[in-house]
Amino acid sequence: MLEVRNLTKKFEKFSLDNISFKLEPGYIMGFIGPNGAGKSTTIKLIMNLLKKDSGEIKVFGMDNVKYEKEIKQRIGFVYEEPYYYENLTLRQMKNIIAPFYTEWDDKQFTKYIGDFGLDLDKKIKELSKGMKTKFSLALALSHNADLIIMDEPTSGLDPVFRREILDILYNIIQDEKKSIFFSTHITTDLEKIADYITFIDKGKIVFSKSIDEVFDSYRVVKGGNDLLDWHIRQEFIGLRTTKVGFEGLTDNPEKFQKILGDQIIVERASLEDIMFYTIRG
Amino acid sequence: MFKLIRKDLLLALSNKFYLISTLLFAPLLLFFMDFQVNEKIIVIIIYGMSFFLLSLSFYYVDKLKPEVLIQSLPIRKREIVLSKYMLVFLCYLIGVIYVSILFKVAEFLGYSITANLNISIIKITLPLVIIHQSIILPISFGISDRLANSIGTGLLVFINNFYLMHDFERTSRMLLNSSNRFSVALIVILIFVLSIIVSITIYKNKDLP
């Protein structure tokens, strides 16, 4: 469905360094990382909005530059910042976008517009951020796309609407031919729906694994500060100490249990823990 | 490609204030000239109308950069560029038709228009419009719409002042002279094709913000 291999893009102050990952049909991949990690750059490269320096991007098995038009027919996109003509009404904007898609489904679009409570005669500039995202989503889901690419779609939205989006995505993925590539830094959203997680930091892939593998790999270890010595500290991926004790991330909990026994508590790590401790160190 | 042209026309129609201002340009000019128009004024009107009509759709200056949206749609970058160049002819045609209708309406209202919209005017205005857009379109694709629009306005003022208002005879002689006809056509086509090639090359390699 989507394969990125050894992708590189250099800017003056930032570079995307040799990144690779693969998304199979029927799955949702969460693309996580802090702000400025390279998530939007990667998505822009996939959409051929930026010119890559080297590497390969294949969508539906086709090169994303050579078969740009064919590929984009089958992609639904939702960006964090909706790039619409603000003076147009939703109806006018839809009338501009719809003719480009051979499989545009007006019935489906009208259904989403109704479900999302949008008014087609309202100007885009009159919509709130959440409403604009809903409109983007309605457009992305109305041309029978096989791959939905979303760049921070839930950022700045209230929890109720974020939950609604996740439900919609969950329903889409019931069709096993469709996939979703979803970048976000709100990791709790992904824990609910993602099958795979790709973690990017400072332009480099930290890991790209199934969510089960991610949760099996990492643990949060908690204990008293008196247990920490130089050697123990070195064993953590990331460590945080407070007056009451320490909390650290590890991918080798057995080692801690062997050394510290029942003086520590070992807990399941959330995606946020993994992201936080990996970045902070 | 026609969908892109349709998109540009829809955008042009949506910008009501600019559209009305553009449509008022010709009648206001005619009014201030007391409808005493000669070929020079008709050339200035058509040249200006074409530029303003193109500006309506080309230079939709927007804070949110809808170029990202357009490039995310199933279209090749080459098609985006070519559609803009095709729009040059369409806007020129609309400008000519609009001016013809305006003259008919003025005549109907009893004003006497002293000059005619004839083939010589087409031979002068079409190369002007083509060269004008051939200069500013690569700037629009390569740098920004805003800069292209500013340069386009400057160019319009410059050509109007120095070549049309003060030296119209020489400019029209040069463009209409039968011995120059072939070389003028060749130069205009060459500039136009070169401009398309430059715009496609720039746009294909351009990184969007």
Render pLDDT for A65-121 as a digit per residue (tens, 0 to 9). 999 999 999 999 988 777 888 888 999 999 999 999 999 999 999 999 998 889 999
d(CA B57, CA B85): 12
**Which three-class secondary structure state does DSSP give residue B102?**
helix
Shortest distance, CA A55 to any CA of chain B (angstroms): 16
Q: Give the gap in angstroms from C-alpha B76 to the nearest C-alpha of chain A.
A: 6
- With beta carbons less than 8 A apart as the criterion, state whether A60 and A178 touch: no
Mean pLDDT of B95-123: 82
Residue B161 has pLDDT above 90, yes or no: no
Q: Are B82 and B196 in contact (CB under 8 A)?
A: yes
Neighbours of A157 (CB within 10 A): 20
Residue B10 in contact with partner chain A when CB distance is under 8 A: yes
* Contact between B68 and A72 using a beta-carbon 8 Å cutoff: no
Which pTM was predicted? 0.82
Average pLDDT along chain A: 88
Report d(CA A166, CA A194) in Å as an integer.
10
Q: Kindly state the average pLDDT of the residues A21-40.
A: 90
Q: Is B208 on the interface with A (CB under 8 A)?
A: yes
Q: Please, which residues bridge with residue A100 across strands?
A: none
User: Which alpha helices (DSSP H) does A141-222 contain, by range?
Assistant: 159-172, 187-193, 211-217
pLDDT for A119 = 92
Tell me, yes or no, if B65 comes closer than 8 A to chain A by beta carbon: yes
As a whole number of angstroms, the distance between CA B38 and CA B113 comes to 8
Greater confidence, A57 or A172? A57
- Grade residue B86 by pLDDT with cuts at 50, 70 and 90: very high
CA neighbours closer than 13 Å in the CB half-sphere of residue B110? 0
In terms of Cβ atoms closer than 10 Å to its own Cβ (0-12, 13-18, 19+), residue A220 is buried
Q: What is the mean pLDDT of chain B?
A: 82
Torsion of CA B91, B95, B97, B101, to 10 degrees: 150
pLDDT score of A158: 80
- CA of A157, closest CA in chain B: separation in Å? 19
Supply the pLDDT for residue B70: 87
Mean pLDDT of B78-99: 91
Tell whether the model's pLDDT for residue B59 goes beyond 60: no
Range scoring the smallest mean pLDDT among A59-73, A233-247, B147-161, B174-188: B174-188
Q: Is some CB atom of chain A closer than 8 A to the CB atom of B61? A: no
pLDDT of A256:
77
- Our CA angle for A211, A213, A215, nearest 5°, is 70
Q: How far is A89 from chain B (nearest CA, A)?
A: 9
Say what percent of chain A tops pLDDT 90: 41
pLDDT tens by residue, A180-232: 998 987 788 788 788 999 999 999 999 899 999 988 888 998 888 777 777 87
Q: Searching chain B, which residue's CA lies closest to the CA of residue A72?
A: B74
Smallest CA–CA distance from B60 into chain A, residue: A85
Give the model's confidence band at B166: pLDDT under 50 very low, under 70 low, under 90 confident, else very high.
low
pLDDT band at A10 (very low <50, low <70, confident <90, very high): very high
Backbone angles phi, psi at A148, to 5 degrees: -105, 120
* Nearest-by-Cβ selection for B7 from A79, A81, A96: A96
8 Å CB contact between A237 and A244: no
**3-state secondary structure at position A220:** strand
Strand A265-268 relative to strand A219-223, pairing: antiparallel
Average pLDDT over residues B149-165: 79
Find the closest chain B residue to A47 by CA distance: B72
Residues A42 and A149: beta-carbon distance below 8 Å = no
**How far are the Cα atoms of A6, A90, A173, B171 from residue A109, in angstroms, in the given order?**
37, 11, 18, 55
